[in-house]
Amino acid sequence: MAVWVYIAWLRVGLARGMDTKGKGVKQDSNFTVNGAQAVTPVKIGILDLMQLCLQENDRRLAGYDPRLCRPTTIPAAARFVLAIGKLWLRIGR
């Protein structure tokens, strides 16, 4: 439980470090959020990134026996955030 609280605390700090344009105000070592800019000039939003990660996760695990244990906590949390984000975008527009 302490690990999950620590990870959540890091993410809250990351979110607080963003300015209104979505750029980090201070240096951050989170490659997933910042590293994409070093690999491609294409801008990708956080919801699009989450969707892409979930699709890649499903693709990679498709070749394994479904009876094996699979990661469930983070994909479920990402799907929840994705659903809330899509609802927020739909209501906000």
Question: Could you tell me if 25 and 49 lie in one domain?
Answer: no
**Range list of H helices, 17-68:** 31-34, 36-39, 46-61
Residue-range definition of the domain harbouring residue 8: 1-40
Confidence at 86, pLDDT banded by 50, 70, 90 = confident
Higher pLDDT, 30 or 12: 12
Report, as an integer, the average pLDDT of 50-64: 92
Domain count, the chain: 2
Question: Could you tell me if 36 and 8 lie in one domain?
Answer: yes
Sign of CA dihedral 71, 37, 49, 15: positive
End-to-end CA distance of the chain: 37
Report, as an integer, the average pLDDT of 62-90: 90
Question: Could you tell me if 61 and 80 lie in one domain?
Answer: yes
